[in-house]
Chain A
Amino acid sequence: MSHGFFLWPVQASHHAKEVDLLIGGFGVMVWLLTLPVFILIAVFVFRYRTGRDANRDHASGSNVWLEVSWSIIPFLLTLGFFVWATALYFDLRRPPAGAMTINLVARQWMWKYQHGEGAREINDLHVPVNRPVKLVMISQDVIHSVFVPALRIKQDVLPGRYTTMWFTADRLGIYPLRCAEFCGTDHSVMGGRLIVMAPQDYAGWLARNRDGGESETLAAAGARLFRSVGCSGCHGAASTVHAPPLDGLYGGPVGLSDGRALIADDQYLHDSIMLPNKDVAAGYRPIMPTYANVLASEQVNALVAYLKDIGAGKPGTRQEDGNE
C-alpha cells in the first residue's frame, strides 16, 4: 500500500482490469455524447447573444427525426455497455466449481474468517494467489459490506442469510479491505487487509495457524459439534427418532412437505438448523428444534461445512429410508 497520492487504484485481479476497461469505455462514450452539447451551448450563447447581428430566421420549433435520433442513439450506445457490464456481473455471481471456500462472519466492528483447513483469523484475510476463492458470508448483527478496491468487488453481508463473493487475486501483495455499508459507530475503522500469498507461503501460513494448534479442519470441528450439540441423537444412524439422514444431502434436490422442491445449498442447510420449520422435508414431522439461540454463526458454519463434507462428491445420492 502506498501512502502517497495516486490517480488509479491498483488492479489485483483480471476482473479489476475488465472493470477499468469498462469504465474507461463508458467515459469515452460520455464525452462523445456530451462534448457536442457543451460546445454547441457555448457557440449558440456566443453567436446569438442579444445585440449581436446573426441570422435568426427560420428557427424551427421541433423536429421529430431529430428527437428520435437523440433518444435512440444514446440509448443504444448505453445498451451496449449494459450488456457488457451485466455479463461481467453475472461472472461475479458464478464462482467456478473448484473454488476454495472461506467462511466470513461479520459483526460490529470486525471480520472473522474460518478457513476450510481450520485456520481462523480476524480482520486480515490470507489467500493464495491465482486460485479462485469463494467467501460465504453472514453477519451476526447489522448489515456490513466487504469491499476490496483492488479487486473492484464488494458484497453486502446480511444477518440471517448467506451471501457469497468470489475472486481470483492474480497479484501478490497486501490490499486494503473495508466495510462499505454503514454499520454504526465504528464503521469507518472496520477494516482489514487482503493478503495475497504465493501458494507455498499460504500453505505454510495455514499450517502455523491451525485452530489452537490442533490440526482440525472446519468440517472436523463440525463433526465434533454434530455429536456434542445433539444432532446425531436424531440424525445419527442409530437414532430412533424419525429424522432424515444427512449423508449425500448437499447439492441435491429436496422435496418439501408442502410439495415444493429445492436444492440443498448452504442457505438451506443454514436455515434447516436455525429455522427448521421454514422448509420441512417431505415425509417428516416438524419436530426438529431451532438452534437459533444455541449456536454461534461460526458453529453453524462448521456444521454446514461438515454436512457439505458428508454430501460432497455424491450430491443428491442420499437414500431415503424406506419406512415412510
Chain B
Amino acid sequence: MPEQRALHEPFHHPARQRQADRLGMILFLASEAMLFGGLFAAAMALRLLYPADYVAASGHLKLWLGTANTAILLTSSLMAAVAVETARGGRPRLSGYALVAAILLGLLFLGIKGYEYGSEYREGLIPGLHGAHFEGRVQHLFMNFYFVSTGLHALHVIGGIALLTIAAFSRAARQDRTVLLIGNAALYWHLVDIIWVFLYPTLYLPDVS
C-alpha cells in the first residue's frame, strides 16, 4: 500500500497522519482485546461453575502441542519485532527476511493447530461431528468452548499472516523508516500472540499441577 505514505485527504502533515494511523490501529486492537475478553469471561464462568470437571476436560488436550505452539508464536512475534527494528534502522532486506520468518512460523502454528484438530477428530472430541463422545456433559461444554475460542483465534492468525504478507511483499513498506505499515502489522501480530498467551493457560494448563 504505497499510497499510504502519501499525504491523504484531511491531513496537512505526514507526521500527524502517521500518528493518526497508529492511534487508529491501537484503538482497533483495544476492541479486539475486548472481543476476546468476552471469551475469557465465559471461560472463567465455566471454571468457577465446574472446577473439577473443567480441569479434567482440559487434561484431554495435547499439552505438548499447545506448548510448542506457544513457543512458535512467541518466536514469530519476536521476528515481527525484529522486522520493525531493522526496517527502522534502514535495512529493508533483513526486515524482509524477518517478516518471512514470522510468516512461516505463523503457518507452522496453523499446521500444528490443524494436526491437533485432526487428532481430536480421531478421538471423537469434536462436538457435532459423528463419532463424538464425551466423558461428561461438562467435557462436551469445554470442547465447545475450546473450538470456538481456538477457531476464532486461528482466524485472527490467518488475518495476521495476510497482513504480514502484504508488508513483506511491499518494498515501499520495508524501506519506510517510519515503519508505518510494518509497525502496524507487527502490532496486530503481537496482539494475536498475546491472546494466545492467555488462551494457552486457560485451555491447556488447568490440568497441570
Contacts and interface: CB of A to CB of B under 8 A. Distances in A.
> Do the two chains touch directly in the complex (Cβ atoms below 8 Å apart)?
yes
Contacts of B32: none
B51 A277 contact: no
Contacts of A197: none
B137 interface: yes
B52 A258 contact: yes
Contacts of A292: 137
A257 interface: yes
Interface in A265-324: 275, 277-280, 290, 292
A290 B53 CA distance: 13
Nearest to A260: B51
Nearest to B136: A277
B195 interface: no
Interface in B120-164: 136-138
A292 to B, nearest CB: 7
B1 to A, nearest CB: 48
Contacts of B52: 256-258, 277-280
Contacts of A277: 50, 52-53, 56, 136, 138
Majority SS of interface residues in chain A? loop
Nearest to B135: A277
Contacts of A280: 52
Interface residues of A, number: 11
Contacts, number: 24
A284 to B, nearest CB: 13
Contacts of B136: 277, 290
A290 B51 contact: no
B206 to A, nearest CB: 12
Majority SS of interface residues in chain B? helix
Interface string A240-278: 000000000000000011101000000000000001011
Contacts of A278: 49-50, 52-53, 138
A62 B161 CA distance: 54
Contacts of A257: 52
A258 B136 CA distance: 18
Interface string B38-69: 00000000000111110010000000000000
Nearest to A257: B52
B137 A275 contact: yes
B91 to A, nearest CB: 55
Interface in B18-52: 49-52
A272 to B, nearest CB: 13
B46 to A, nearest CB: 12
A258 B137 contact: no
A280 to B, nearest CB: 6
A256 B50 CA distance: 13
B138 A258 contact: no
A290 B50 CA distance: 15
B59 to A, nearest CB: 13
Given A275-B137, A277-B138, A258 B53 contact: no
A278 B138 CA distance: 9
A69 to B, nearest CB: 37
Nearest to B52: A258
Nearest to A278: B50
A301 B75 CA distance: 56
Nearest to B55: A258
A268 to B, nearest CB: 13
Contacts of A258: 51-52
A280 B52 CA distance: 8
Interface of B: 49-53, 56, 136-138
A-B pairs, 5 with minimum CB distance: A277-B53, A277-B136, A258-B52, A278-B50, A258-B51
Interface of A: 256-258, 260, 275, 277-280, 290, 292
9 contacts: A256-B52, A257-B52, A275-B50, A275-B137, A277-B56, A277-B138, A278-B53, A280-B52, A292-B137
Given A256-B52, A258-B52, 7 more contacts: A257-B52, A275-B138, A277-B50, A277-B52, A277-B56, A277-B138, A278-B50
